[in-house]
Homo-oligomer: A and B are copies of this chain.
């Protein structure tokens, strides 16, 4: 019940000393291992499993991530970053509408991999409180850019808020069945066709 940790996440301006080489290597290995373990065993997988898979001791894990939830949050942010980064890649290699379409599917698969995590997000753990903001702050501009390009090139015509679209798709993706991702893809196609002519999207969920 004692929780007076600083929690400051090393802002970029801060620079006491550079991390040692083995430290960055291990941090990377931990994040990679955690991502895989979470995927196979769920977010509640024991930290020991993650440390073992990363080939480091538990002490090392806790040095970098003082609490279990910090590790979960870091993995989440990392995957958000990866998904967002792909928007630029896709935009560079495809025409606007195709880039938008491909990225939305990428976004759906991102959501699909976050099944167990969604429950943890609402668990009240303070380590997760900033994640929704991080989610929005990164995804909204990414989608906004893709949509703007497609609109400029005249391929789509809509005034829908990118964030509304992100939320709508997120709601679509909360299907209990695991392989219903194909169903989500089909609905997504409908949404994209909808974008071609403008309009709005409304959703409901319990």
Instruction: Choose the segment among A16-24, A93-101, A118-126, A189-197 that binds chain B (4+ C-beta atoms closer than 8 Å).
Output: A118-126
A122 near B124 with CB under 8 A, answer: no
> What's the least CB distance linking A126 to chain B, in Å?
12
> What's the least CB distance linking A178 to chain B, in Å?
11
Does A59 touch B at the CB level, under 8 Å? Answer: no
Copies in the complex: 2
> What's the least CB distance linking A74 to chain B, in Å?
20
Given contacts A167-B204, A167-B205, contact A124 B119 (CB under 8 A): yes
Q: Which B residues are in CB contact (< 8 Å) with A202?
A: 202-204
Does A153 touch B at the CB level, under 8 Å? Answer: no
Does A158 touch B at the CB level, under 8 Å? Answer: no
Given contacts A171-B205, A202-B204, contact A123 B119 (CB under 8 A): yes
Does A162 touch B at the CB level, under 8 Å? Answer: no
Task: Render A126-169 as a binary contact track against B, CB cut-off 8 A, 1 for contact.
Answer: 00000010010000000000000000000000000000101110
Q: Which B residues are in CB contact (< 8 Å) with A167?
A: 204-206
- Which one of B122, B135, B166, B203 contacts A118 once the chains associate, using CB atoms below 8 Å? B122
